[in-house]
Amino acid sequence: MIELYAWGTPNGRKPMILLEETGLPYTLHQINIGKGDQFTPEFVKINPNSKIPAMIDTEGPGGKPVRVFESGAMLIYLGEKTGKFYSSEPRARIAALEWLMFQMGGVGPMFGQAHHFLRQAPEQIPYAQERYLKEVRRLYGVMNARLGEAAYLAGDYSIADMATYPWVARYEWHKVALEHFPNVERWFKGIGERPAVARAMGVQFS
Ligand SMILES: N[C@@H](CCC(=O)N[C@@H](CS)C(=O)NCC(=O)O)C(=O)O
């Protein structure tokens, strides 16, 4: 059984999408990051970095429990465990890792900073807003070019798409008109029509 600790943010939805896609049973523990649940001693044992998502697989390697934090590590772990959406074929695996790391090091942090300076910062700082919006648009350009040559980021539908989709789902937050990136728009609509994705994105947090 997978014990998943998450909240309804893009990073939190990533493992939910994979779990729904694979059908692996899981229990969702809501960690309300607005109330500071991520700083409790119990949660810090699961993620020493005090961020969601994190998980415990009660049947980890050797049949013993293992904790996994960092959403990218969780997707890789679950992809390897299930043998789904993370190919063992070397070239396909490299592509999945490339686009997963592109999300982890680019899309997530840059979109997140754009959201912060546009929506949460106590003062409006045009320099910071424009810096991150420019990077967001550049990253959309990279994705649009890639999705012009492949159906999905890594070729086939994979953990790289699952990591990226919940961030693109906040396109209005970072002021992107998807019609300006038609390949991303096609990809986004197609993934959104997958029942597993709709289930994961529809989970309510309270
Ligand atoms: N690199 C981490 C980032 C996780 C992350 O930033 N999580 C946010 C929510 S999306 C969080 O827990 N924020 C609470 C906080 O910073 O106190 C991952 O991908 O797992």
**Rounded-to-integer distance, Cα 31 and Cα 38, Å:** 6
Q: How many Å lie between the centroid of ligand 1 and the Cα of residue 27?
A: 20
Q: Is the whole model's pTM more than 0.85, yes or no?
A: yes
Q: Which residues line ligand 1 (CB under 6 A)?
A: 9-11, 33, 38, 50-53, 70-72, 108
Closest atom of ligand 1 to 52 CA is: 12
What sign for the dihedral angle of Cα 93, 49, 162, 17? positive
Q: Distance, CA 164 to ligand 1 centroid (Å)?
A: 15
* pLDDT tens-place string over residues 31-90: 999 999 999 999 999 999 999 999 999 999 999 999 999 999 999 999 999 999 999 999
Helix and strand numbers, DSSP H then E, in the chain: 9, 4
Both tokens of 60, joined, read: 């980890």
Write the burial class of residue 99 (CB in 10 Å: 0-12 exposed, 13-18 middle, 19+ buried).
buried
* The predicted structure's pLDDT at residue 121: 98
Residue nearest to atom 15 of ligand 1 (CA): 51
What is the per-residue pLDDT for 181?
Answer: 98
Q: How far is CA 80 from CA 64, 77, 138, 149, 173, in A?
A: 16, 5, 31, 26, 33
Cβ-Cβ contacts under 8 Å for 7 (sequence gap 6 or more):
30, 31, 32, 33, 52, 53, 205
What's the pLDDT score for residue 184? 99
- Model pLDDT, residue 160: 99
